[in-house]
Structure 1
């Protein structure tokens, strides 16, 4: 059994801090993705295709 050096103890603490930041970022992106998928029609992307629902109809004029 050996005792860790003080430098390793500090690095371990920083590594856990970085792990927490990265995990929270992944959870944020995953949550945004789930919300975007669940909203359906509100999350349409710009894909260079004419979407009929956005073209003004002649009946509305």
Structure 2
């Protein structure tokens, strides 16, 4: 059997730290996605067109 060198032990600790940061990022992105889906945040697309939901109710008659 061989004993791990000190450098390998330090790298292992850093790798677990990076793993923790990546997992935290994934959990945050997943949580934001679930929250937006539950509140209806993805109901309108992002295709650079006018969104009728944002037009005030009196503005439609004023433009005609």
Bucket of the pairwise TM-score, normalised by the shorter protein:
0.7 to 0.9
What's the Cα RMSD here? 2.2
Unaligned runs of at least 5 residues, structure 1: none
2:35 corresponding residue in structure 1: 35
Normalising by structure 1, what TM-score? 0.77
Unaligned runs of at least 5 residues, structure 2: 59-64
Partners of 2:36 and 2:45 lie apart in 1 by 11
- Give how far 1:29 is off: 0.6
- Give how far 1:48 is off: 1.8
Q: For residues 1-61 of structure 1, what are the structure 2 equivalents within 5 Å?
A: 1-40=1-40, 42-43=41-42, 44=44, 46-58=46-58
